[in-house]
Amino acid sequence: MKNLSVLLTAFLLTMNLTAQINKINIIPKPQEIKVLDGNFIINSSTRILFDDKTEMIAKYFADEVEGLYELKLKFDKSSGKPVDNFIELRLAKLDYSSNKEAYHLNIAKDRILITANEPNGIFYGIQSLRQLLPVEKDLKNKKELTLPAVDIKDFPRFVHRGLNLDCCRHFMEKDFVKRYIDLLAYHKMNVLHWHLTEDQAWRIEIKKYPELTEIGAFRKYDDGTVYGGFYTQEEIKEVVEYAASRFITVIPEIELPGHSTAAIATYPHLSCTGGPFDVGTLWGIYKDIYCAGNEETFTFLEDVLSEVIELFPSTYIHIGGDEAPKDRWKECAKCQQRIKDEGLTDEHELQSYFITRMERFLNSKGRQIIGWDEILEGGLAPGATVQSWRGTKGAIEAAKMGHDVIVSPTSHCYFDYPIETTDVPKVYSFDPVPPELDAEEVKHVLGTEGNMWTEYAPQEEIDDRLFPRLLAFSEVAWTYPAEKDYEPFRLRMQQHYKRLDCLGVEYGLESKPFELIPTYNQFSRSFLIQVDILQKDLSVYVISKHKGPMMSNPLGVTRFNFGLTESDEIKFQFSKGGKVLAKSYIRNFSINKATGSKVVLTYPYSERFTGGGDNALTDGVRGTSNYRDGSWQGFGMTDFEAIVDLESVTDINKITVGFFTASSSLVVFPEYVEYFVSDDKENFKSVGKVSKEFSLRDPTWLSEDFSLELSNTSGRYVKMFAKNPLTVPDWHPAAGGKVWLMVDEIVIE
């Protein structure tokens, strides 16, 4: 009996604790949380107490509370300490951490006390406090805000917790960048890595070289469209100051020697060949880069960096260094002369010379450089910090050489990658400290960065890519591994969505949303499509283009089926906690004379792009808008030829084959497609050819039907031949590359 009562008491205590801890859903998770009895209530009489060093933070908090709840707090430095109902920001030495970002947040019934070694810590105490404020509906005009009593002791694992925003491939408005500064601060991140120069744009005004933004900030497409924008120095100062007020350091990235097409399009004499060049319109790696043998290159870059350091007080300046092909340097007399004069062995050492020279310049101005891991090749500049992106190898090598590192491998930290490859659990599982490092070497790991490259993400899609992945990432950067556990994090994230809603964040999915398993029935000529929902707590709505909404899963149900008796375009919409996500998926199903028919290929498909195997081209499931999604069948450097057996002589009114083009890749439409019919599989008669006008310089990814309308045509066998253009043309960044045809689906009507 006694045992039972002990058990029961323990159980009730646990339940109580769980219920209370569920009120505390702070992301990133603090190091230590003790839930206390009772509540503190903020009302219009609540005073904020601060001193000179924390006044800005007090105002910031008051503004946030007023903005969200229309509740004005009192703050008045001179009025002496009240006995209760106050929020005190107190700078004092913490006994458990000397970290400048550490804080102690204690919420009692009569007052809230945030103690920290430095204002940075006070600011993070305020962020935790903000994440404890109520988020139920009708926030406006709240008279009282109830906060749970709690004691939180917290400090970060890493000093460098960053996000790289590529504002070049797609431009982000100044206010959008400031909004991200707020979102980063809310999740206790402290670095904005601002990617400002690229092949496709130069986005920072340089007074000495005004043409950089007059010409280099805008790219022109074949159809006459111009895309661009830039930040004036005044706007940059505004952003940097705004970030500083949120304890975020802005580190500018000025790319060299590669990814510099916008600069050399403006000043072609800074290249090896003299150009001319256009500002890049395609994504990829451009071969024309700054000439390393030309002194004017260095004069130019030193002038540019001199203005850059006036705008950015950060210790670090990111100089890029990634993806700089050496093709032009190999053929350039000046570059080769430089190699001779400097006693270098090859073009990699020439790159090292280039980077080291820029480092020396920046060091002379009191700054340090960060470069991508390619700067290891040919010898690392003496004081450089390495940002490892091609896995963690670069970070390991650099740390073992005694250099500081930022660890941000594509595998876990690239949020431009689709959620299917880099989902929230995977991001959460990341540990920025490579296990290969010993205790001394680990000290060189400054931290990590998420990367938001924007080739395929215009500003309006950034939220979808970054959220909720950035929640997991903020915990990777802040919280120690011993405190990390995915499922409790996932539950906190579910609560956190309401806070993101308040902040207007259009978050996307946590993982691949579903697996579709279509079964085609030859006799009834219909599909039964099974939907297995892979993301927990996700509602999936099936909407037919022809029939409208068809069905959705009841709460908690993770598998359902729907049927199709005719070709249809199905939109899958998602909702979380009653809110429909901005992102939806479209899938096309085709029921036609070829569906389920046997296909014989003359040239085999690539093992890299099977499209799902031998039946992929007539499975009735059409390839999606992403040729890498597994639904497309790929043919590298071969033509495509297929024969479809319709099993009996059949009337044929239209033949279609779908192809893909993606100018930033090696995937290109065929030169033409020719169609043939036969009754006996021996004698084929050509019935027509189709080709498409398209602009390879258009960066969009495009799938198109190559369709041929027919009359009075019949046959049992239909053959299609698509001509592979084989080589990528000269003006393409991948010039000379081997062309892939991507095929899906064969449709015969």
Where do contacts with ligand ACM occur on this chain (CB under 6 A)?
322-323, 372, 389
Of the pair 64, 349, the CB lying nearest Zn ion is at: 349
Residue 332 binds which entry of ligand ACM, Zn ion, none, with Cβ cut-offs from 5 to 8 Å by kind?
Zn ion
Q: Report the amino acid identity of residue 137.
A: K
- Measure the CA angle with vertex 115, ends 111 and 116; round to 5°: 160
> First CA to last CA across the chain, in angstroms?
77
Q: How far is the CB of 270 from Zn ion (least distance, A)?
A: 9
Q: How many residues in the chain?
A: 749
Kind of pairing, strands 539-544 and 568-576? Answer: antiparallel
Of the pair 301, 370, the CB lying nearest ligand ACM is at: 370
Of the pair 170, 492, the CB lying nearest ligand ACM is at: 170
Residue 272 binds which entry of Zn ion, ligand ACM, none, with Cβ cut-offs from 5 to 8 Å by kind?
Zn ion
Give me the residue whose beta carbon is nearest to ligand ACM. 322
Radius of gyration of the chain (CA): 30
Q: Report the amino acid identity of residue 514.
A: F
Cβ of 148: how many Cβ atoms within 10 Å?
16
Q: How far is the CB of 323 from ligand ACM (least distance, A)?
A: 5
Which tokens in the block code for residue 642?
Answer: 């297929």
Q: How far is the CB of 61 from ligand ACM (least distance, A)?
A: 37
Q: Report the amino acid identity of residue 445.
A: V
- The Cα–Cα gap between 624 and 84 comes to 61
Query: Cα dist. 131→152, 171, 404, 434 in Å?
Result: 13, 30, 33, 31
Which tokens in the block code for residue 360?
Answer: 């020396």
Residue 372 binds which entry of Zn ion, ligand ACM, none, with Cβ cut-offs from 5 to 8 Å by kind?
ligand ACM
Of the pair 359, 374, the CB lying nearest ligand ACM is at: 374
Q: How far is the CB of 112 from ligand ACM (least distance, A)?
A: 43
Q: Which helix (H) or strand (E) holds 748?
A: strand 740-748
- DSSP class of residue 492? H
Of the pair 335, 470, the CB lying nearest Zn ion is at: 335
Q: How far is the CB of 342 from Zn ion (least distance, A)?
A: 13
Of the pair 211, 322, the CB lying nearest ligand ACM is at: 322
Q: How far is the CB of 195 from Zn ion (least distance, A)?
A: 25
Residue 323 binds which entry of Zn ion, ligand ACM, none, with Cβ cut-offs from 5 to 8 Å by kind?
ligand ACM
Q: Determine contact, residues 601/627, Cβ cutoff 8 Å.
A: no
Q: How far is the CB of 730 from ligand ACM (least distance, A)?
A: 24
Q: How far is the CB of 334 from Zn ion (least distance, A)?
A: 5
Q: How far is the CB of 266 from Zn ion (least distance, A)?
A: 17
Residue 461 CA, distance from chain mean position: 10
Residue 389 binds which entry of ligand ACM, Zn ion, none, with Cβ cut-offs from 5 to 8 Å by kind?
ligand ACM
Of the pair 389, 609, the CB lying nearest ligand ACM is at: 389
Cβ of 453: how many Cβ atoms within 10 Å?
21
At a CB cut-off of 8 Å and minimum separation 6, what does 272 contact? 288, 289, 291, 293, 328, 329, 331, 332, 334, 335
Q: Determine contact, residues 306/365, Cβ cutoff 8 Å.
A: yes
Helix axes 347-364, 333-341, angle to 10 degrees: 70
Residue 335 binds which entry of ligand ACM, Zn ion, none, with Cβ cut-offs from 5 to 8 Å by kind?
Zn ion
Q: How far is the CB of 27 from ligand ACM (least distance, A)?
A: 26
Residue 291 binds which entry of Zn ion, ligand ACM, none, with Cβ cut-offs from 5 to 8 Å by kind?
Zn ion
3-state class of 348 per DSSP? helix
Cβ of 621: how many Cβ atoms within 10 Å?
22
Which tokens in the block code for residue 130?
Answer: 């903000």
Q: How far is the CB of 559 from ligand ACM (least distance, A)?
A: 38
Of the pair 154, 373, the CB lying nearest ligand ACM is at: 373
Residue 107 binds which entry of Zn ion, ligand ACM, none, with Cβ cut-offs from 5 to 8 Å by kind?
none
Residue among 69, 27, 68, 314 at smallest CA distance from 184? 27
Of the pair 115, 665, the CB lying nearest ligand ACM is at: 665
At a CB cut-off of 8 Å and minimum separation 6, what does 537 contact? 494, 576, 577
Residue 462 binds which entry of Zn ion, ligand ACM, none, with Cβ cut-offs from 5 to 8 Å by kind?
none
Of the pair 258, 715, the CB lying nearest ligand ACM is at: 258
Of the pair 354, 574, the CB lying nearest ligand ACM is at: 354
- DSSP class of residue 650? E
Residue among 214, 172, 164 at smallest CA distance from 189? 164
Beta bridge partners of 714: 651
Binding region for Zn ion (CB under 5 A): 272, 291, 293, 332, 334-335
Q: How far is the CB of 284 from Zn ion (least distance, A)?
A: 21
Q: How far is the CB of 98 from ligand ACM (least distance, A)?
A: 34
Residue 400 binds which entry of ligand ACM, Zn ion, none, with Cβ cut-offs from 5 to 8 Å by kind?
none
Residue 322 binds which entry of ligand ACM, Zn ion, none, with Cβ cut-offs from 5 to 8 Å by kind?
ligand ACM
Residue 334 binds which entry of ligand ACM, Zn ion, none, with Cβ cut-offs from 5 to 8 Å by kind?
Zn ion
Residue 50 binds which entry of Zn ion, ligand ACM, none, with Cβ cut-offs from 5 to 8 Å by kind?
none
Q: Determine contact, residues 197/253, Cβ cutoff 8 Å.
A: yes
3-state class of 682 per DSSP? coil
Of the pair 147, 285, the CB lying nearest ligand ACM is at: 285
Of the pair 418, 488, the CB lying nearest ligand ACM is at: 418
- DSSP class of residue 290? B
Residue among 220, 218, 238 at smallest CA distance from 228? 218
